[in-house]
Chain A
């Protein structure tokens, strides 16, 4: 990448921050030229609304990646939440949402504790916690797909999936959560601490930040966002199953990385992840247009992931790669 950029007289480090939106724009133009229907507002809005659960998960993932960690439990937590939402709806109504969020927060906190106190790297700790979440989902559901009672669902969560002036409510949810996460990251002491930890953890320690606590909160937020993603998914599909969100994890990580938050952390943020998610959405719908089989889509995301990491990672922070 560096070599290519230099050969055309550009400093790659300078154009790097602009790559995500330029990529998004280029993709939209390419796909739009190939398929004029793609650019119809109706289609674009529908596409954006469909991607919101993934977007929410990706925002949670952003907290983890921004501090230089990762949350591999996000998909399993979302899976589990679809089941919890479905089974608890009958008893608790809208309170089911609170239960989902609480369970997500607890699992994320446990990941954070394991990572910071037991010094288990986050890719292992969250993988393990993901296993726990997956099992809870299987156990609660009896390994079956469960369905929500339509009346109960509409009563408690109908507002999530309605439509106002042609705009699906998922989009509002996505925007509200984005605003919240963006504010948290850029305007609060917590967000500033995240940045310091991601960009220079040793200096953050030397400046007296409570690094462990902040990391634990970051993982808890990742768990909460994964749970909200699962809840929205369950409401959209009117049911839950311990495998329903499979295939989300890879695109969620891709969304964060192509958006410009590198695995080494410290730069990027929520707006980047929003752009990254839109890139994923466009790629996904273009794959439909070009009739790439659903079974092959993960392969495409796998390749994009590798390219995105290779292009964005800050090599000066890496001494040894294992």
Chain B
């Protein structure tokens, strides 16, 4: 019924979708799995009209369609139930359900609220949710909101002739087990009219609900399995398993780390985000926090950087307990932070190479507040040469550098300031393979120089390849620590089983 034929999508420096063929039949439930960054969300955006494919075509019942925006896709019966709650919380349930389509209740310029409430009640009935449509959305539980989102998309049943395709992006992430069961029953009942595309981290759920599962990896569909033949281990292998050249992660260059402790967590807890976390980061060690999005790994990183004060436990930096937590604490403690949002938090676009490099250490390049610009330029040139940053000169706006070179500038900023604890938050996100290898080289070099590194990696392979130590975090609790260097590297499956 609905088909993508050889769809390609490029972003600057990234080939996000590689000739993707995707098909969904009438009343079918199709699963979509893949690691972070595999291209799932790009694919979903193409399907519901937020992105337009660069190449390839989309057909519905054999007719080629092209959507300029999600609204046009909706008019063809394609609706999206968002993972991040898309409801506007200060509006009522019915206002949310009919947002953008209020005109059907307008007579003589005035909205007929009771008519809208009646229609909303009918939609809520479809998802078996018995609430007053005039309730303000903020008062609902997350599970109820999820159902309201589904009800909102189901208004397509009345608006559109023909069949529906409904995308569910991680719909179960906020639900308890019994709520998941209810949702699944609901989805199955709705297949009389609609087909579903179901995206989830939880492999068992995907297999339980879906008739077929598409497996994505690096922007391509690497496998399609049917429910009858599916096997969790096999899918996981396809998801993460390419035969990785050990050299790719510079494993030969990995050396043992010293005994000197740089960062120490002693039974540290913070609210619902993480509990009783303990570890030591040593000089020269690469410590990797592994877990799904929201597992607590980012929150731990923020605490190391001094942003969020824990409720309990002791955080020590080089033997000194940290007492002050505020925006500048990390820099004051000599910690360098390479943020996930490289273009927003990493570099300042609009400032040149040397201005970016000295941003965290201007006191070292100034006298009485007056900058020693010629020294700044020397420093920049030194690190341009050392890291092989590709830029015509030190005056180049960092916003105009490639992603890999921007990342090198960010690393040079911290290295040149003498930070010996560096936090890497998805340092290779959105980089091409060559740039990734450069980052891996730098990780090894820093490690050799005695820098302690805490890494939240983009993929599990990257984590295994780079880390000395891996700590798996799930729902804020450390499941297991692997001493990958001394006891041998854990396998992907060792990690995945602890994560989900």
Report the separation of the CA atoms of residues A199 and B341 in the bound assembly, to the nearest whole angstrom.
15
B355 contact set on A, CB distance < 8 A: 192, 195-196
Q: Are B360 and A207 in contact (CB under 8 A)?
A: yes
Count of CB-CB pairs between chains A and B under 8 Å: 73
Q: Are B362 and A192 in contact (CB under 8 A)?
A: yes
B363 contact set on A, CB distance < 8 A: 189
Q: Is the CB of B12 closer than 8 A to any CB of chain A?
A: no
Report the separation of the CA atoms of residues A199 and B346 in the bound assembly, to the nearest whole angstrom.
12
Q: Is the CB of B350 closer than 8 A to any CB of chain A?
A: yes
Q: Are B366 and A189 in contact (CB under 8 A)?
A: yes
Binding-face segment, B169-177, B367-375, B467-475, B477-485: B367-375
B373 contact set on A, CB distance < 8 A: 187
| Chain A residues with a Cβ under 8 A of chain B | 187-190, 192-193, 195-196, 198-200, 202-211, 266-267
Give chain A nearest CB distance to B363 CB in angstroms: 7
For this complex, 26 residue pairs linking A to B, each with C-beta atoms less than 8 Å apart, are A187-B370, A187-B371, A187-B373, A189-B369, A192-B355, A192-B359, A192-B362, A192-B371, A195-B355, A196-B355, A196-B359, A199-B348, A200-B347, A200-B351, A202-B341, A202-B345, A204-B348, A205-B327, A206-B345, A207-B413, A208-B328, A208-B331, A208-B360, A209-B328, A209-B360, A267-B350
Among B299-344, those with CB < 8 Å from A are: 327-328, 330-332, 337, 339, 341, 344
B327 contact set on A, CB distance < 8 A: 205, 208, 211
Q: Are B337 and A206 in contact (CB under 8 A)?
A: yes
Report the separation of the CA atoms of residues A190 and B370 in the bound assembly, to the nearest whole angstrom.
9
Known: A189-B363, A207-B331, A209-B328. 19 other contacts (CB 8 A): A187-B371, A188-B369, A189-B369, A192-B359, A192-B362, A195-B351, A196-B359, A200-B344, A200-B347, A200-B349, A202-B341, A203-B344, A203-B346, A203-B348, A206-B339, A206-B345, A207-B360, A211-B327, A266-B350
Among B354-385, those with CB < 8 Å from A are: 355, 358-360, 362-363, 366, 369-371, 373
Q: Which residue of B lies closest to A190 (CB)?
A: B369
Q: Are A200 and B341 in contact (CB under 8 A)?
A: no
| Range of interface residues on B (Cβ < 8 Å) | 20 to 34
| Chain B residues with a Cβ under 8 A of chain A | 327-328, 330-332, 337, 339, 341, 344-351, 355, 358-360, 362-363, 366, 369-371, 373, 413
B359 contact set on A, CB distance < 8 A: 192, 196, 203-204, 207, 209
Q: Are B331 and A189 in contact (CB under 8 A)?
A: no
Give chain A nearest CB distance to B202 CB in angstroms: 32
Give chain A nearest CB distance to B306 CB in angstroms: 10
